[in-house]
Amino acid sequence: QVHLTESGGGTVAVGGSATLSCVVSGLNSHRTVMGWFRQVPGKQREGIAAIYAAAEKITYVDSVKGRFSVSSDAAENTIYLQMASLKSEDTAMYFCAAGKTWREYPRRIDTDDFVHWGQGTQVTVSE
């Protein structure tokens, strides 16, 4: 059975940093396409980063490019999302997910391409 557990959320000041973790069990996250998504109430879940570590492939949505960094720790079977220069519009529930296949990015990181999901961790960026 696959389980994904996010942690690291909380309240962060504008311009601050935070690192989210996603501990994975039941599959090899290093050899699986993994994604980070976020969602605010009333809006669709947005894919912001994807990583396929075994193939050294990473992609980001433009709104986080240069500020967020996704990485994988094979030994810990964990993926990370390092977030810097946080803005109020980054406030959201953040989810990690395990996917089916690596698409020809750049394109939208689509929820339909991901099968297993964590419960999410809330990140609130405040003034």
Average pLDDT rounded to a whole number, residues 79-103: 96
> pLDDT at residue 100 above 90?
no
Average pLDDT rounded to a whole number, residues 49-62: 96
Give the per-residue pLDDT at 13. Answer: 98
Cis link prior to 106 (omega < 30° from 0)? yes
> pLDDT at residue 106 above 90?
no
Q: Does the CA dihedral 18-110-117-30 come out positive or negative?
A: negative
**Which run of H or E residues covers position 42?**
none
pLDDT band at 97 (very low <50, low <70, confident <90, very high): very high
Average pLDDT rounded to a whole number, residues 95-116: 92
Give the per-residue pLDDT at 81. Answer: 98
Give the per-residue pLDDT at 46. Answer: 97
Give the per-residue pLDDT at 107. Answer: 84
Average pLDDT rounded to a whole number, residues 39-57: 97
> pLDDT at residue 104 above 90?
no
Please name the residue ranges forming H helices in 1-124.
none
Average pLDDT rounded to a whole number, residues 6-18: 98
Token pair belonging to 106 = 């750049």
Q: How far apart are CA 62 and CA 81, in angstroms?
A: 15
